[in-house]
Structure 1
């Protein structure tokens, strides 16, 4: 339940143009080693301001490769933000 609440808050803030450049709201609560995330589940992890910014796209890819090695990931545009989604 907490995981859904945190993820829902993160998505809502991303959709309404959150004030922070990045957010790790869901990050601490989605580690599969802590239990609760089924294999094959896509999890919203972080957002970056500026969906058309090459710097945001680059940072999203770097974060995904460094923080979630051996996981599939996507940097998805959503409004004026870029969202990092990771598959567990």
Structure 2
């Protein structure tokens, strides 16, 4: 499996406040970005996998909603996470 418990904990430890704080906006955005990158690579190999394509679009929308929330609440944290993950607006 591409996303193990250890990998998830590592993502939340790096981008969130701690490995156990899985509800932080930055941690969720980082996790969604990891999953989006994985699905993008999968779709490059399997062009006709429409279920995965739908899942990818839903994930991008969820990440966008979290980023919109973050930009309204704390613009500095938003700019940091955008730069750190290499997300383009």
Class of the TM-score when normalised by the shorter of the 2 chains: 0.3 to 0.5
Ranked by relative contact order (alpha carbons within 8 Å, sequence separation 6 or more), the top structure is: 1
TM-score normalised by length of structure 1: 0.36
Greater fraction of residues in strand: 1
Q: Which is greater in Rg?
A: 2
Greater fraction of residues in helix: 2
TM-score normalised by length of structure 2: 0.36
